[in-house]
Amino acid sequence: MKLSNIKRFWISFILAIPMLIQMFAMPFHWMMPGYNWIAFITTTIIMAISAAPYWSSAWAAFKHHNANMNTLVAVGTSVAYFYSIFAMFTGREVYFESAAFVTVFVLLGDAMEEKMHNNASNALAKLIDLQAKDAEVERDGKFIKLPLDQVKVGDIIRVKPGEKVPVDGVIVDGSSTLDESMVTGESMPVTKKKGDDVVGSTINTNGTFTFKATKVGSDTMLSQIVDLVKKAQTSHAPIQNLTDKISNIFVPVVLIIAIITFVIWYVFLGATLVNAMLFAVSVVVIACPCALGLATPTALMVGTARSAKMGVLIKNGEVLEEVSDIDTVVFDKTGTITVGKPQVTNVVGNKNKVLAIAASLEENSEHPLATAVVKTAQEANITIKPVKNFAAIEGRGVKANYGNQEAFVGSDRLLENISISQEMKDQALQLQKEAKTVVYVGLGNDIIGLIAIQDVPKASSKQAIVELKKRGLKTVMLTGDNQNVAEAIGREVGIDQVIAGVLPTEKAAEIKKLQDEGNKVAFVGDGINDAPALSTADVGIAMGSGTDIAIESGGIVLVQNDLMGVVRALEISKKTFNRIKLNLFWALIYNTIGIPIAAGLFMAFGLQLSPELAGLAMAFSSVSVVTSSLLLNKTKIAGETAQVSK
């Protein structure tokens, strides 16, 4: 059975506890009874369970004439371990704890990395779970429930209110309003009638309809999105760990120094074989990569913990490196820049009267625009009166008797034989130019007012984009909405570039296009349709209010539905990555100073570093790196204290 890094870490940590106790007891001159044998047995198990994979990796790298982080781990642990066995049987000081602790510390970093990457594989499963599990299919003149895998092209399928559309198809009978925002990115629910296309996994909000299946199985839009996410995730070249880059140079240098040290002391300076070996062992032990191994995970742990308090979840350590090079931030519109729900923005005419009539009629409607009108009236404490002879006119609006007069609320299609002033026409035209949906409110034969409805930007959007521009970042909006709506929103929040009318399957391609132009791209999104783009972008930032798949696909998740979180995310990521680089620099400087001492260069001055002291120095370097990482908690982060109204 292959153990995970997390399990191997805990096993090794528990086994290393006796050696940890002994290390703390040494200053008090207390020796654990039978310590050498306890250390030998526990370290041997740690070597077999936890260090062996590093030895295998180091050997594989060696065969390809390379050196990596694992090479240093393997050399350090094997030298300390095998020398300690030799020392134990010859009555000398043992250094099993060096071998054990190097393994435990490095394994801690790997375990943390493994935990962060475990979530990535869940993204595709989340997508698949979004599919309907069955469908109501016509068989022999009756509708029966069948598993989705039994649905064929050409089948007639019935969908009731509140149900998911099982597969892609064309409506053959009935009409309804579908919420397609999760798949298409369109902010407004779409009215569907006979002859219109429907997309699998969208939600039927009202009305019952039947449709003919045109695409099933892997041909559906959702399945195509699944494939795109899969390709995007697997196409990413693994980012070579910075410590591996360092180790590629550092390891051979350390090994050469250790060999040279042994040869010089044994051949030229006349030291005994054991003493020459002690100098060589000291060099390797002090160069053991505890500090290097802890540099990344400790900074990552502190940085991610602090960012979480600010509502920013960093899921992937590789994101930090990528964030440093970001020059373009691309935003989805619906639910990201905007609220994601239709809201009343303007009321033309006598506000109270217009809202009272509109809400009284729309209260009986299930249309999302009607919901926005009713909500606004309720917030304004306007009395909603019961109406008579309510009738919904497909694609136009609603009519009913309000008091003693016929009232109506709807689109301009209702305006036949209805008088409307030129002023009202001009106002309606102006609102439409602002990419707002205009609803006409009439009483008798007159239009008494207009209601404009729009998916409005979040309060934080404009401020966040200003902050990003201050940092020299280009801002882009990428949306499935129409051009007018997108450009109006873009102008309002100060977006540099607007790319509209993009299909879900095209979003990733647009991101790739920007990357091909030489841009390092961060993408911010929240819907299913954003998942491929989130995975394709150099950095994916998902809104926490979004769908599970979007959250899983993003390397960074904003818990709060607030675009200032993007500023905080980029800032904390940069600060964390800079701290990692500082830690690595300190670890290398520490080793650079320690290695000459360990090699005996300063023996003439009475300065000598035994393997025991080298082990203690190695431990101190680890403590210093951890301390450096903890200082991340004191670093100022832009936008941390910014209070943005939700």
Q: How much is the pLDDT for 224?
A: 67
- CA–CA separation, 483 vs 472, rounded Å? 26
Listed residue (3, 112, 109, 113) closest to 50, CA to CA: 3
Query: Does residue 293 surpass a pLDDT of 80?
Result: no
CB atoms within 10 A of CB 404: 6
Q: Is 200:165 a contact under the CB 8 Å cutoff?
A: yes
Q: How much is the pLDDT for 289?
A: 61
Listed residue (82, 70, 78, 80) closest to 106, CA to CA: 70
The better pLDDT of the pair 206, 34 is held by: 34
125-135 per-position pLDDT tens digit? 565 666 778 89
Query: Does residue 288 surpass a pLDDT of 90?
Result: no
Q: How much is the pLDDT for 10?
A: 93
Degrees, nearest 5: CA angle 159-165-169: 95
User: Mean of the pLDDT values across residues 65-89?
Assistant: 81
Confidence of residue 466 (pLDDT cuts 50, 70, 90): very high
Query: Does residue 580 surpass a pLDDT of 50?
Result: yes
Which of 17-31, 467-481, 603-617 is modeled with the greatest confidence? 467-481
Q: How much is the pLDDT for 468?
A: 93
Q: How much is the pLDDT for 301?
A: 73
Q: Is 286:614 a contact under the CB 8 Å cutoff?
A: yes
Residue 634 backbone phi and psi in degrees, to 5: -100, -5
Q: How much is the pLDDT for 120?
A: 41
Query: Does residue 172 surpass a pLDDT of 90?
Result: yes
Q: Is 302:629 a contact under the CB 8 Å cutoff?
A: yes
User: Mean of the pLDDT values across residues 549-569?
Assistant: 76
354-409 per-position pLDDT tens digit? 999 999 988 877 666 788 899 899 998 998 888 888 887 766 778 889 888 888 88
H/E run at residue 443: strand 437-443
Confidence of residue 446 (pLDDT cuts 50, 70, 90): confident
Q: How much is the pLDDT for 44?
A: 95
The encoded tokens of residue 52 equal: 């062996």
The overall pTM is greater than 0.85: no
Q: How much is the pLDDT for 329?
A: 96
The better pLDDT of the pair 126, 9 is held by: 9
Confidence of residue 20 (pLDDT cuts 50, 70, 90): confident
**Taken in order 146, 151, 157, 163, is the CA torsion positive or negative?**
positive
Confidence of residue 237 (pLDDT cuts 50, 70, 90): very low
Greatest extent of the chain over all pairs of C-alpha atoms, in Å:
117
Average pLDDT, the chain: 81
User: Mean of the pLDDT values across residues 217-244?
Assistant: 58
Q: Show Cβ contacts of residue 375 under 8 Å, excluding neighbours closer than 6 positions.
A: 344
HSE-CB for 516 with a 13 A CA cutoff: 6
* Of 92-106, 268-282, 292-306, minimum mean pLDDT range: 292-306
Query: Does residue 480 surpass a pLDDT of 60?
Result: yes
- Residue type present at position 497: Q
Q: Show Cβ contacts of residue 20 under 8 Å, excluding neighbours closer than 6 positions.
A: 97
Composition of the chain by helix, strand, coil, percent to 5: 55, 20, 25
Query: Does residue 148 surpass a pLDDT of 70?
Result: yes
**Taken in order 464, 466, 469, 475, is the CA torsion positive or negative?**
positive
Cα distances from 276 to residues 95, 264, 610, in angstroms, run 16, 8, 11
Confidence of residue 532 (pLDDT cuts 50, 70, 90): confident
Q: How much is the pLDDT for 247?
A: 67
Beta bridge partners of 190: 178
Q: How much is the pLDDT for 573?
A: 82
User: Mean of the pLDDT values across residues 587-598?
Assistant: 82
45-54 per-position pLDDT tens digit? 999 998 888 8
Cα distances from 425 to residues 152, 244, 329, 429, 443, in angstroms, run 49, 68, 39, 6, 17
- CA–CA separation, 8 vs 478, rounded Å? 44
Q: How much is the pLDDT for 341?
A: 77
Confidence of residue 570 (pLDDT cuts 50, 70, 90): confident
Query: Does residue 178 surpass a pLDDT of 80?
Result: yes
Confidence of residue 229 (pLDDT cuts 50, 70, 90): low
Query: Does residue 641 surpass a pLDDT of 60?
Result: no
Residue 230 backbone phi and psi in degrees, to 5: -60, -45
Residue 384 backbone phi and psi in degrees, to 5: -100, 120
Confidence of residue 26 (pLDDT cuts 50, 70, 90): confident
Coil, helix or strand at residue 635: coil
pLDDT above 90 covers what percent of the chain? 22
Q: How much is the pLDDT for 227?
A: 64
Q: How much is the pLDDT for 127?
A: 57
* Of 105-109, 204-208, 275-279, minimum mean pLDDT range: 105-109
Coil, helix or strand at residue 136: strand
- CA–CA separation, 293 vs 299, rounded Å? 11
Query: Does residue 235 surpass a pLDDT of 60?
Result: no
User: Mean of the pLDDT values across residues 403-430?
Assistant: 81
Beta bridge partners of 347: 451
Task: Report the relative pairing of strands 474-478 and 446-454 from DSSP bridges.
Answer: unpaired
* Of 82-91, 144-153, 232-241, 547-556, minimum mean pLDDT range: 232-241
Listed residue (644, 532, 530, 535) closest to 543, CA to CA: 530
Query: Does residue 238 surpass a pLDDT of 60?
Result: no
**What strands lie across the sheet with 142-147, from one edge to the other?**
142-147, 134-139, 156-159, 209-215, 168-174, 197-198
191-226 per-position pLDDT tens digit? 888 998 898 888 888 889 999 999 988 888 777 666
Listed residue (646, 639, 631, 487) closest to 569, CA to CA: 639
Catalytic residue annotation: 332
Degrees, nearest 5: CA angle 446-448-449: 135
Query: Does residue 292 surpass a pLDDT of 80?
Result: no
Phi-psi region of 154 (alpha: psi -120 to 50; beta: other; left: phi over 0): left
Listed residue (617, 43, 624) closest to 282, CA to CA: 617
